[in-house]
């Protein structure tokens, strides 16, 4: 690993005049004072759009409005007991721990601390300058503490778990005032299959800034860990395809295989015809590469897959079933999921359509809609944009990035994942009409039928945008619109 990690520079090589202040205080610079004023206004309940970097302001909104984090918090809470049982990524944590220890040796001379967390923001290890470590412990920046945004507000570790790419949080950009004299930079490591964060690495420094070279270093340093995740994803796919091939020899009817994230890896001819996957060659042959897998457009399936993974954990014999709207215009179809387990971990699911065996799915309280948002947060260049739901005509997904189409233009949503945006907007009359599109039904002006019977929604804008409707969602859409 040593040969693969670039040199680490923590301290700025030559402080600028703007940063050179008495005592080197992070809160004494003119830029920090501006952020501090914005923080005071925002913490008092005002809605602001400027004066703070967009990624930081988006985090403040999450902390204030969604997580309701106490801004006077001065000590991070301990991790909940159930989180201690979730260390199922041993190889990843071992690699990341080695990286943290190596970086800790390099930052010791600069008075910095390196921390590694799991995907829930629970600190697994801390290395670096002994004096800085003791100061960090005063805030419980130490193993078995929780530094997710939900627990501790805006910070390098927690915020990096909410977004992709490296994150810096300096001085008063922290949501909790007690942490305003820390500078930190973190980056998350994400599961290539599910897109969820599995870990993060963070560098913190007390009352002194970090070099601009730190975020690029973090990005390069975690590449070796991400390679391990990719290799594991390929191995798991091979395992699932192997089980799928065995079952296909004896199974009749429509049958498919999914990875841990609910993406289709393989399907037999009957399932290909049912799901409209003609021409999806990688799916028929077996999609080992994560980018070649197919995202099913079946309402409710992601929730069922999450339920099945939890129920099947460590049990290679588990099976369960649910009834879902698989075929448009027909009654819900039963489908049975059977776990594919490797080394006591669920690596995928085999799914048989028209079969009803095992434990029944009864839904979950987690599927209920949460509190309504005060506003929908978007990002455009270096600004945060606050949108009323009525301003949004439709949302379009580009993998995990979601674009909101509004009268103010095309704006990137601060929330990642179309499913998450859908949960925010369902109560405002938005409905999924395609695996990539979420539409405000109040903004639909016309419906057009294509040559082959496909539907397109024409929005009430000057440009009259066309939004495709998948054949799966067409019956429900006609019912909701009364056509």
Q: 2-221 adopts what CATH topology? A: Beta-Lactamase (3.30.450)
Nearest to 139 by CA among 101, 184, 102, 103: 184
The H or E element spanning position 201 is: strand 197-206
Give the three-state DSSP class for 149. Answer: helix
Confidence at residue 286, expressed as pLDDT on a 0 to 100 scale: 82
265 near 347, Cβ under 8 Å? no
pLDDT tens-digit readout, 100-112: 888 888 888 889 9
Question: Which strands form 383-387's sheet, in the order they lie side by side?
Answer: 383-387, 376-380, 409-413, 401-406, 392-398, 437-440, 430-434
CATH number of the structural domain 233-365: 3.30.450.20
135 near 208, Cβ under 8 Å? no
455 near 477, Cβ under 8 Å? yes
Residue 104 tokens read as 């800790």
Enumerate residues 6+ apart whose C-beta is below 8 A from 381.
54
Nearest to 347 by CA among 357, 360, 338: 338
Kindly report whether the global pTM for this prediction surpasses the value 0.85: no
> Of 17-26, 116-125, 464-473, which one has max mean pLDDT?
116-125
Nearest to 429 by CA among 381, 377, 369: 369
Confidence at residue 300, expressed as pLDDT on a 0 to 100 scale: 84
pLDDT band, residue 134 (cuts 50/70/90): very high
203 near 218, Cβ under 8 Å? yes
Low-confidence winner among 92-96, 186-190, 311-315 (lowest mean pLDDT): 92-96
Class of 376-481 per CATH?
mainly beta
Q: State whether the Cα torsion 268-295-427-196 is positive or negative.
A: positive
**Is residue 21's pLDDT more than 70?**
no
Nearest to 171 by CA among 158, 157, 185: 185
Give the three-state DSSP class for 161. Answer: helix
Confidence at residue 15, expressed as pLDDT on a 0 to 100 scale: 46
Q: End-to-end alpha-carbon separation of the chain, Å? A: 62
> Of 215-219, 236-240, 266-270, 313-317, which one has max mean pLDDT?
236-240
pLDDT band, residue 16 (cuts 50/70/90): very low
Nearest to 196 by CA among 151, 244, 164, 228: 164
The residue extents of the domains of the chain are 2-221, 233-365, 376-481
Task: Measure the CA–CA gap between 26 and 21, rounded to whole angstroms.
Answer: 9
**Is residue 241's pLDDT more than 90?**
yes
**Is residue 366's pLDDT more than 60?**
no
pLDDT tens-digit readout, 422-451: 988 888 889 999 989 999 999 999 998 877
Percent of the chain scoring above 70 in pLDDT: 89
**Is residue 359's pLDDT more than 90?**
yes
pLDDT tens-digit readout, 146-180: 999 999 999 999 999 998 889 999 999 999 999 99
Task: Measure the CA–CA gap between 43 and 41, rounded to whole angstroms.
Answer: 6
pLDDT band, residue 140 (cuts 50/70/90): very high
Confidence at residue 316, expressed as pLDDT on a 0 to 100 scale: 84
Neighbour count for residue 314 (Cβ, 10 Å): 12
List, as one string, the DSSP characters of 314-382: T-TT-EEEEEE--STTSPPEEEEEEEEEETTEEEEEEEEET---SEEP---GGGS--PPPSSEEEEETT
**Is residue 232's pLDDT more than 50?**
yes
Task: Measure the CA–CA gap between 220 and 285, rounded to whole angstroms.
Answer: 34
List, as one string, the DSSP characters of 376-445: EEEEETTEEEEE-GGGEEEEEEETTEEEEEETTEEEEESS-SHHHHHHHHGGGTEEEEETTEEEEGGGEE
**Is residue 367's pLDDT more than 50?**
no
**Is residue 24's pLDDT more than 70?**
no
Does 2-221 match 376-481 in CATH topology? Answer: no
Identify the burial level of 423 via C-beta atoms within 10 angstroms of its C-beta, where 0-12 means exposed, 13-18 middle and 19 or more buried. Answer: middle
Strands 455-459 and 264-267 come out as unpaired
**Is residue 84's pLDDT more than 60?**
no
Confidence at residue 13, expressed as pLDDT on a 0 to 100 scale: 52
Task: Let me know how long the chain is.
Answer: 483
């Amino acid at each position: 690993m040593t040969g693969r990690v670039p040199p680490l520079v923590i301290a700025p090589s030559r402080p600028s005049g703007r940063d050179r202040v008495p005592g080197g205080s992070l809160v004494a610079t003119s830029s920090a004072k501006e952020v501090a004023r914005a923080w005071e206004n925002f913490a008092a309940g005002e809605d602001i759009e400027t004066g703070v970097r967009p990624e930081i302001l988006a985090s403040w909104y999450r902390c204030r409005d969604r997580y309701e984090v106490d801004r006077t918090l001065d000590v991070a809470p301990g991790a909940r007991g159930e989180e201690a049982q979730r260390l199922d990524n041993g190889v990843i944590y071992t690699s990341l721990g080695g990286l943290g220890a190596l970086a800790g040796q390099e930052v010791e001379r600069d008075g910095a601390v390196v921390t590694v967390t799991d995907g829930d923001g629970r600190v697994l290890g801390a290395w670096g300058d002994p004096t800085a470590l003791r100061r960090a412990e005063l805030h419980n920046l130490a193993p078995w503490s929780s530094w997710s945004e939900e627990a501790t507000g805006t910070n390098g570790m927690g915020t990096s778990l909410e977004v992709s790419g490296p994150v810096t949080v300096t001085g008063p950009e922290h949501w909790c005032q007690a942490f305003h004299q820390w500078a930190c930079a973190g980056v998350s490591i994400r599961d290539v299959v599910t897109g969820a964060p599995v870990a993060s690495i963070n560098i913190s420094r007390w009352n002194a800034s970090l070099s601009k070279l730190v975020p690029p270093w973090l990005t390069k340093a975690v590449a070796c860990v991400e390679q391990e995740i990719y290799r594991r994803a390929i191995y798991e796919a091979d395992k699932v395809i192997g089980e799928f091939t065995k079952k296909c020899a004896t199974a009749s009817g429509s049958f498919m295989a999914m990875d841990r994230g609910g993406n289709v890896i393989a399907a037999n001819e009957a399932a290909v015809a049912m799901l409209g996957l003609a021409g999806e060659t990688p799916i028929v042959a077996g999609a080992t590469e994560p980018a070649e897998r197919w995202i099913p457009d079946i309402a409710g399936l992601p929730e069922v897959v999450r339920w099945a993974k939890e129920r099947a954990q460590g049990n290679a014999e588990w099976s369960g079933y649910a009834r879902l709207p698989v075929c448009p215009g027909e009654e819900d179809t039963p489908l049975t999921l059977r776990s594919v387990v490797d080394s006591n971990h669920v690596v995928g699911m085999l799914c048989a359509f028209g079969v009803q065996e095992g434990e029944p799915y009864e839904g979950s309280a987690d599927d209920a809609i949460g509190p309504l948002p005060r506003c929908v947060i978007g990002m455009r260049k270096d600004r945060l944009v606050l949108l009323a739901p009525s301003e949004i005509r439709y949302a379009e997904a580009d993998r995990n990035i979601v674009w909101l189409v509004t009268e103010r233009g095309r704006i990137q949503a601060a929330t990642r994942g179309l499913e998450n945006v859908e949960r925010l907007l369902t109560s405002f009359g938005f409905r999924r009409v395609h695996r990539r599109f979420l539409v405000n039904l109040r903004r639909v002006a016309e419906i057009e039928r294509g040559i082959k019977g496909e539907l397109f929604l024409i929005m009430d804008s000057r440009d009259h945008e066309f939004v495709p409707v998948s054949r799966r969602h067409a019956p429900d859409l006609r019912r909701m619109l009364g056509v």
